[in-house]
Amino acid sequence: MAKQVYMFDEGHKDMKNQLGGKGANLAEMTQIGLPVPYGFTITTDACHSYYQDGKLVNTALKDEIIQALHQLEAATNKKLGDKETPLFVSVRSGSVVSMPGMMDTVLNLGMNDLTVEAQKKLTGNGRFAYDSYRRFIQMFSNVVLGIDLYFFENRLDQLKEAKGYISDPEMTEEDWIELILSYKDLVVKHTNQPFPQDPIEQLMFAIHAVFDSWNNQRAIIYRQLNRIPDSYGTAVNIQSMVFGNTGNDSGTGVAFTRNPSTGENLLYGEFLLNAQGEDVVAGIRTPQPIAQLEQILPDVYQQFVNASLLLEKHYRDMQDIEFTVEQGKLYILQTRNGKRTAASAVRIAVEMAEAGIISKEEALLSVEAEQLNQLLHRRIDNKADMIILTKGLPASPGAATGKVVFNSDEAQAYHDKGEKVILVRPETTPDDIQGIIAAEAVVTSRGGMTSHAAVVARGMGKPCICGVESLKIDTQSKRFVVRETTVNHLDIITIDGDTGSIIVGEVPMIEPKNSSHFHQLLAWADQEKGIDVRANADNKEDSLKALELGAEGIGLCRTEHMFMQADRQKVVKEMILSSSTQERKICLAQLLPIQQGDFEEIFEVMQDLPVTIRLLDPPLHEFLPDKEELLIEVTAMRITEPDSTLLKEKELLLKKVQELSEMNPMLGHRGCRLGLIHPEIYAMQAEAIFLAAITMHQKGIHVKPEIMIPLVGHSNELKIMRKLVIDTAEAVLAKASINMEYTIGTMIEIPRAALTAEQIAAEADFFSFGTNDLTQTTFGYSRDDAEGKFLQTYLEQNILTENPFRVLDKEGVGQLVEIGVNKGRSVKPELKTGICGEHGGEASSIAFCLHAGLDYVSCSPFRVPLARLAAAQATIRRQAIT
């Protein structure tokens, strides 16, 4: 039979699975010589047996417990229940991972009518002895016997009132004795049994209660919320008591070794004089800041400083420590790695590495990559007073204040007037792109974390809240209603994309500032990482942001956003509506200098860094008005103004829209299919790129354009498009008498392209895996439909463990990426490979890309720091394995 009970000097910190986090750390601290009251831990395996045996502590375990108790008694020179030198213990639960809200601790166990007298005699302090006894009855009755604390508090209040006292310290020894009688009477009333006097019985009862607490309602819910396996079980710690309530040279407290919100290297915490552990949490009295301990008990303070330095060095991390002082002597009762904000995590990592406590690699691994996101966005000042109107899904972080508008045209119009606006829509579509760009933030009443609004806003680093179902939007009369509150057009609201809260009016904000620590940590990350990080950027602003946040180039410059900008929408529309190629070419000629300007702006910012430009990808109807809306408009006009020329125009437009409309646009006439049918469009884009590059060369900026053809599924498609780009390039370059290196590559986003990558590679200088479309085509899901209709259920029922549009599906889609890279490199070893799309900014997907041997990942500018850190972490972890 395996050992089920460990004395504190038999365990160590790596035994969390058996001893629970608390038990393993109590053992570790005992081993390194810290003043920890002695005790023992019952393992999580014993908890499993308890449940297997039908909630019974079997005799083998009982024997082990009694034996451990004897060892504890021998070590402390005290005996549980002894009427001269009684031992008192605490019974503390402790799971593998910390689970607040599972079981409360029982302190002072072993107290009864005899031992309380002994304690009085030993300490010469009857008031203290009886206070400890009444605390025990109260805790035990609540935690173990399940009697509501309210009844006890009520009796205490009644007695104090009868005596004319205001606070507990006025209670005398006799008063506590009187209260104990009243408490005992309460216990009989509720359980029909007298309060248990036998200390062994008390102990066994308490152990049962800890095991039972593993399956109480709040513990089960907490586990579900935090994805903690039910199979862990809880350990039980039995520890000899130290008393913080013996007088003013005693007390209790909790402290972090560094500030958990700022990371400052200063003890941060609180203590209470003359109190027991639970009092600090209970909030009965207001604790004092830890710094004041230095004045009150300088000697104890120094002991604590030393202990905290030792613990930090030993655990190589910031610690969260519980302590108690008994008559001027310090005891450590718990330590664990402290929870902290992102800002604090970064500062602590850097400062601990600089102080030589941890290595740079450990510093990099200690910050959760996803957390960095918090640091790049403006946040609501939590100290501010505010009334939260309602909540939705926190789809994109950051906070914003602005006037409410209900459509994209208005967003644009008010933005142009210099107003800050928040776009509120039932949902957004690609038509809303201008509105989203113009708005400070976006709110939608429908859609999830990966709806159009969410994806676009995240890409732009704008706050966004989705799926606010309580929001009843009336776009017609321009207002929304949440229960009784109505918010009108142009009213001011504030949104918090970190929590999903919508607040009426303005709220104070904290601006993001990237500390020197942040830059230092990322500089270390850049030294480590074995994969480049680029950004997706379509314009000058995004490019500037990308550079500022450390991108090493642009991995995806989408040209469709350029077509959607207001100043060119008219020509773009004419181009699409052209009835002949000739007509279309005239429009394209007008677009050419505009496109050239777009590229020049981006090249100018990126200088010599690589920029991958993707030729037009979406189907043409995306640039035209919505079919249904247009139909309604035309129908109405046929009645109101049947002879107007405007109607003629609209009818023509409608006809074209109907012609272009597709059954399934995602799989329709888009990407290179567009370039093959209308080569003049791609030719114009290629010309614009080379003209822009020539301008740069003349300025001494040596751009090497990377031109990317989207949606290739067959090598012949790429062959023709490649020739088109080369012919165009050569003509333009010859005319300017300039030589220039350039590359032509393709997106790999159709399974067939990955599977025939040898053939495709023959025509390509680089591959960029478009994992969004590749996920759609591999799963056969259209993203919007999947996320809108069934994906949530799939996740809830564990059919899929992650949303494959957020976290790369390594098994399926990832396999295609690997096939693509390997087959491609088999014929072209120097083939450059990368991934663009949201996955390029997600930590586990980045690790996958590193292992698959890709040269770079590309993600939205705001996720670049996260990607740099995640790339470094994946590289360090890989080195650790090999």
Q: Which residues are catalytic?
A: 452, 836
Binding-site member from 770, 804, 820, 840 for Mg ion (CB under 5 A): 770
- Position with the least CB separation from Mg ion: 773
C-alpha distances (whole Å) from 95 to each of 91, 236, 668 are 13, 8, 54
Q: Which is nearer to ligand ADP, 254 or 711 (CB)?
A: 254
The residue (of 35 and 512) whose beta carbon lies closer to Mg ion is 35
Shortest CB 603 distance to Mg ion, Å: 23
Distance CA 744, CA 613 (A): 10
Return the half-sphere exposure (C-beta side, CA atoms, 13 A cut-off) of residue 273.
14
Residues 32-51, interacting with ligand ADP (CB under 6 A): 37
Decide whether 324 or 728 has the Cβ nearer to ligand ADP: 324
Nearer Cβ to ligand ADP, position 65 or 556? 65
Residue 773 binds Mg ion, judged by CB under 5 A: yes
- Interaction partner, residue 319 (Mg ion, ligand ADP, none; CB < 5-8 Å by kind): none
Taking CB under 6 A as the rule, does residue 92 contact ligand ADP?
A: yes
Q: State the Cα–Cα distance between residues 868 and 855, nearest whole angstrom.
A: 13
Residue 683 interaction partner, one of Mg ion, ligand ADP, none, beta carbon < 5-8 Å per kind: none
Give the contacts of 639 (CB within 8 A, at least 6 positions apart): none
Q: Is 687 in the site for Mg ion (CB under 5 A)?
A: no
Site for ligand ADP in 334-393 (CB under 6 A): 334
Partner in contact with 277, chosen from ligand ADP, Mg ion, none, beta carbon below 5 to 8 Å by kind: ligand ADP
Asked if 186 interacts with ligand ADP (CB under 6 A), we say no
For residues 381, 384, 385, 387, the Cα torsion angle rounded to the nearest 10 degrees is -10
Q: In angstroms, what is the minimal distance from the CB of 90 to ligand ADP?
A: 3
Size of the site for Mg ion (CB under 5 A): 4
CA distances from 332 to 21, 197, 241, 558 (A): 15, 29, 12, 58
Residue with smaller CB distance to Mg ion, 690 or 856: 856
Of 236-244, 385-393, 454-462, 610-618, the segment contacting ligand ADP by CB under 6 A is 236-244
Q: One-letter amino acid identity for 383?
A: K
For residue 542, state whether it binds Mg ion (rule: CB under 5 A): no
CB of residue 440 to Mg ion, shortest distance in Å:
28
Q: What is the dihedral of CA 639, 641, 645, 649, to 10 degrees?
A: -40
Q: If contact means CB under 5 to 8 A according to the sort of partner, which of Mg ion, ligand ADP, none does residue 770 touch? A: Mg ion
Listed ranges 370-378, 420-428, 558-566, 769-777: which one lies at the site for Mg ion (CB under 5 A): 769-777
Q: Are 613 and 557 in contact (CB under 8 A)?
A: yes
CB neighbours of 503 closer than 8 A, spacing ≥ 6? Answer: 380, 386, 387, 388, 389, 493, 494, 495, 496
Site string for ligand ADP, 276-305 (x = CB under 6 A): -xx---------------------------
Does residue 324 belong to the site contacting ligand ADP (CB under 6 A)?
yes
Tokens of 155: 């009796």
Partner from ligand ADP, Mg ion, none contacting 695, C-beta within 5 to 8 A by type: none
For residues 139 and 235, what is the distance between their CA atoms, to the nearest angstrom? 20
Q: Which does 773 bind (CB under 5 to 8 A by kind): Mg ion, ligand ADP, none?
A: Mg ion
Give the one entry of ligand ADP, Mg ion, none that residue 394 binds, where binding means its C-beta sits below a cut-off of 5 to 8 angstroms depending on kind: none
Choose the one of ligand ADP, Mg ion, none that binds residue 196, judging by a C-beta under 5 to 8 angstroms depending on kind: none
Task: Classify residue 731 as left (phi > 0), alpha (psi -120 to 50) or beta.
Answer: alpha
Partner touching 333 among ligand ADP, Mg ion, none, CB below 5 to 8 Å by kind: ligand ADP
Interface with ligand ADP includes 30 (CB under 6 A)? no
Phi and psi at 259, nearest 5°, equal: -70, 120
d(CA 612, CA 546): 14
Tell me the C-alpha distance between 21 and 54, whole Å.
26
Could you give the strand order of the β-sheet that contains 268-273, starting from the edge strand earlier in sequence?
A: 288-289, 268-273, 251-256, 319-326, 329-337
Give, in order, the Cα–Cα distances in Å from 164 to each of 127, 157, 703. 18, 10, 86
Query: Is 711 or 874 the residue whose CB approaches Mg ion more closely?
Result: 711
For 67-80, b where at least 16 C-beta lie within 10 A, e where not — what string?
ebbeebbeebebbb
Q: Tell me how many degrees the CA angle 575-581-587 measures, rounded to the nearest 5.
A: 30
Stretch touching Mg ion by CB under 5 A, among 111-119, 347-355, 480-488, 765-773:
765-773
| In the complex, least distance from residue 37 CB atom to ligand ADP, rounded to whole angstroms | 5
Positive or negative, the CA dihedral 190, 192, 194, 196 is: negative
Which one of residues 107, 350, 455, 674 is an interface residue with ligand ADP (CB under 6 A)?
107
Minimum distance of ligand ADP from residue 240's CB (angstroms): 6
Q: x/- contact string, 326-355, with Mg ion (CB under 5 A)?
A: --------x---------------------
CB 136 to ligand ADP: min, Å: 12
- Helical spans, DSSP H, in 316-443: 342-354, 360-366, 372-375, 408-416, 433-438
* Structural tokens at position 61: 């375990």
Please say which residue, 278 or 526, places its beta carbon nearer to Mg ion.
Answer: 278
Asked if 559 touches ligand ADP (CB under 6 A), the answer is no
Task: Looking at residues 704 to 763 of the shown chain, list those that interact with Mg ion (rule: CB under 5 A).
Answer: 749
Q: Hey, is 293 helix, strand or coil? A: helix
Name the residues that contact Mg ion, by CB under 5 A.
334, 749, 770, 773
Binding site for ligand ADP (CB under 6 A): 37, 90, 92, 105, 107, 239, 241-242, 252, 277-278, 322, 324, 333-334
